[in-house]
Structure 1
Amino acid sequence: MDRLTDDDLGALIALRRDLHRRPDLSGAEAATAATVAQALSALGVEVVTGLGGHGVAGIVPGGAPGPTVLLRCELDALPIAETGQPAWRSETPGVAHLCGHDGHMATLLGAVRLLRRDPPPRGRVIAMFQPAEEDGSGAIAVCEDPRFAPLAPDWAFALHNLPDLPRGVAHVPDGLASAASVGLAIALTGVEAHASAPETGRSPAPELARLMDTLPALSRAVFPAPDFRLVTLTHARLGAPAFGIAPGRGEVFATLRTSSDAALAALEAEARALIGQPDGLSVEITEHDRFLAGVNDPEAAALLREAAKAAGLEALHGTPLRASEDFGRFGHDCPAAMLLLGAGPGPALHNPDYDFDDRLIAPGAATLAGTARLALSRGG
């Protein structure tokens, strides 16, 4: 079985905590990418940088030609101020690794150490450190980058820590693994007026109130039912912060979430029809943070479960994430699967006091390395 040494773990934990101190937002991961590229170079692997933005790939060769396995993690952090107080607390105001991407990077680097120490007999492994996962743009950008074509995989795998699950448990769903979603920003523009004579202008307030009531009402069913859909209001603003002006502008943000890409398209069409074109107002709708549904290939999922068991984890079929994850894009081109690694009790992902549990690095790295070995032994 693949196993990291105490020296390995000491180095990986130190690197993880250094990455935690110096987080980068989506699309601005230059410093994080440079740190990862340096760590890969120190392990003696070929490194490709600048993929889909700041993406970094480390190429681990096997002993003979064969299929390609991609193991993917994320580079970016979140625009949230950290309230936890670890010694390695974020030094960047308003930005922090509160989803565990720092730990995922350390885990994948651990898998590279294991694969370099005992190279697979054939094929190659691409350790993909992907940019801009948090806004859904990174996987698409990497896959569409012409420089990624020579690295295109026959299999793709990833893991994500999940505090909701007991430590030592790995959930690997067959089929749906993460929800599809998109953000709609709806801007309503009318005409400002004096607060003493609002009838001389055109306020978007009634329309804004209508949308804040009717958009969430499009929600129905329970995830992961095929007809599940959830509309979440994430932001609203009306006019200027003043008492003498009747507002002329309002905006509301809504995130639409479903169990499939087709269902998301249908929900988005219904939401746009509901928004409509109210009299006296101009309406502008822009899309943001579009995520494809993540769908685990059954054979790829079985390989992940087999490797997780070999790494000492309890591997279950489990349930998918209601959250979105842009790893789903890799599954459009090859069999792919994502594992959810239990982190035990503690703050949830994206909470301001969350911190990655370093005890997940060893079993996570062994699972990723073991999965790559299994996939390479099966062919592609």
Structure 2
Amino acid sequence: MFLTNSDMVELIELRHALHRAPEISGEERETAKAIVAFLAPSAPDRIVTELGGHGVAAIYDGAEPGPTVLIRCELDALPIEDLSGAPHASQVAGKGHLCGHDGHMATVAALSRGLGRQRPRRGRVILLFQPAEETGAGAAAVIADPKFKEIAPDFSFSLHNKPGLPLGSVRISEGPANCASRGLKIVLTGHTSHAATPEHAVSPIKALARLMPELTALGPGGALEGNYRLVTVTHASMGEPAFGITPGRAELWATLRTLSDSLMGSLCAEAEALVREAASAGGLSVSMDYHDVFHHCENHPEAVAHLRRACDEEGIARGETPPQRGSEDFGLFGLASKSAMFLLGSGEDTPPLHNPDYDFPDDLIAPGARVFMRTIRNLLG
């Protein structure tokens, strides 16, 4: 174990401090400052800041040429009230680290202690604290940033805590790991009338009522394999909150989800065709746009092999896992490097992610860091 008791005390204090002061996607300035301050004692060879927004990358160089290994975590919290009641509960109304990103940061920050004491023999390690994962914008912004060119990883690794799995156990498989998804926002526009004369309006009521079940039927879900598609209606609104007005405008939001990027195009085309047909039948104008676009994550066999070896050498129980319905923008790093994400069990009886009472277990920091550090040492010495 490369972490001392003193290290663990400091890492838990870091996580609790981050948990108390959550910042949502795009607003992570103070979180990034806290991370830079925590990394400083390990004397990284370089620290890149404001990467793709508020991203931070700490670079630790080896003495000899070799591959670049990137370990990635996320800076952002969620716009959800923290109702955990923990002593370190969020002090920011309406915001909370309810996905465990505070714990992911503490786990990756733990690596700075080991790398500060012993640099890799060759190559280099990048500890990346990425902004805006929850919106799907962060990884793309980091990769598009000209400063990312000096990072250019050969391998990229990450983890996500997973309620429902035994505490500290690992699940990882080759192939698809997380679904592709995107949010479709639909605006239907006609015109209003007095509620006493609805025949004078062009109302979106029939189109809205028709589209909710029709869009859902495009993606019924089922087994996470092959042509898996899921469409979830997440929001609907129509008209003004008044009894005297026949509505003339409606919004409908739906999340489209597929097992792979290659399946998303056809699902989008079918959904758009349904929307246009319903709008035309109702004499409505329509606009559509996409938000929170996530590419699917694909675990590379070689990267998975390194993580499996690390688990075995560290004596950490591991198993296979099916793809996850949830999306992760980490998949973009796999387009230019051999990448893999593993799931780290946060307990069989813990609340689900994004619940208002979720709190990342401190006991996960050490096993997560051990898997990453063993992987680094095996690859770089």
CA contact (8 A) 1:33 1:54 kept: yes
Equivalent residues in 2 for 1:62-101, closer than 5 Å? 62-101=62-101
How many angstroms apart in 2 are the aligned matches of 1:223 and 1:305? 26
How many angstroms apart in 1 are the aligned matches of 2:248 and 2:256? 26
CA contact (8 A) 2:231 2:256 kept: yes
Moved more, 274-283 or 27-36: 274-283
Secondary structure of the 2:97 match is coil
Equivalent residues in 2 for 1:274-289, closer than 5 Å? 274-276=274-276, 277-278=279-280, 279-289=282-292
Q: Given residue 26 of structure 2, which amino acid in structure 1 is its aligned partner?
A: G
Structure 1: runs of 5 or more not aligned: none
Partner in structure 1 of residue 308 of structure 2: 305
How many angstroms apart in 1 are the aligned matches of 2:106 and 2:152? 23
How many angstroms apart in 2 are the aligned matches of 1:366 and 1:160? 15
**Runs of 4+ off more than 4 Å:** none
Cα deviation, 1:182-209, whole Å, max 9, x if unaligned, reads: 0001111110111110111111111011
How many angstroms apart in 1 are the aligned matches of 2:271 and 2:304? 34
How many angstroms apart in 2 are the aligned matches of 1:62 and 1:263? 41
Q: Given residue 347 of structure 1, which amino acid in structure 2 is its aligned partner?
A: P
Equivalent residues in 2 for 1:124-203, closer than 5 Å? 124-203=124-203
Q: Normalization by structure 1: what TM-score?
A: 0.97
Equivalent residues in 2 for 1:339-354, closer than 5 Å? 339-344=342-347, 345-354=349-358
How many angstroms apart in 2 are the aligned matches of 1:359 and 1:178? 25
Identity among equivalent pairs (%): 52
Q: Given residue 373 of structure 1, which amino acid in structure 2 is its aligned partner?
A: R
Structure 2: runs of 5 or more not aligned: none
Q: Deviation of residue 221 (structure 1)?
A: 4.9
Q: Deviation of residue 164 (structure 1)?
A: 2.0
Partner in structure 1 of residue 377 of structure 2: 373
How many angstroms apart in 1 are the aligned matches of 2:258 and 2:113? 38
Partner in structure 1 of residue 31 of structure 2: 32
Q: Deviation of residue 18 (structure 1)?
A: 0.3
CA contact (8 A) 1:238 1:247 kept: yes
Secondary structure of the 1:65 match is strand
Does 2:329 align with 1:326?
Answer: yes
Q: Deviation of residue 302 (structure 1)?
A: 1.0
Does 2:358 align with 1:358?
Answer: no
Does 2:255 align with 1:261?
Answer: no
Secondary structure of the 1:210 match is helix
Q: Deviation of residue 160 (structure 1)?
A: 0.5
Q: Given residue 304 of structure 1, which amino acid in structure 2 is its aligned partner?
A: L
Q: Deviation of residue 38 (structure 1)?
A: 1.3
How many angstroms apart in 2 are the aligned matches of 1:42 and 1:242? 60
How many angstroms apart in 2 are the aligned matches of 1:331 and 1:371? 17
CA contact (8 A) 1:41 1:47 kept: no
Cα deviation, 1:307-354, whole Å, max 9, x if unaligned, reads: 122333112222221100000000000100001001112100001110
CA contact (8 A) 1:84 1:352 kept: yes
Cα deviation, 1:24-56, whole Å, max 9, x if unaligned, reads: 110111110111111112221121101101100
CA contact (8 A) 2:259 2:296 kept: yes
Partner in structure 1 of residue 108 of structure 2: 108
Moved more, 310-319 or 31-40: 310-319
How many angstroms apart in 2 are the aligned matches of 1:82 and 1:181? 26
Cα deviation, 1:204-236, whole Å, max 9, x if unaligned, reads: 111011111111111235242111100001111
CA contact (8 A) 2:220 2:231 kept: no
Query: What's the RMSD between the two structures over aligned residues?
Result: 1.1
How many angstroms apart in 2 are the aligned matches of 1:317 and 1:220? 25
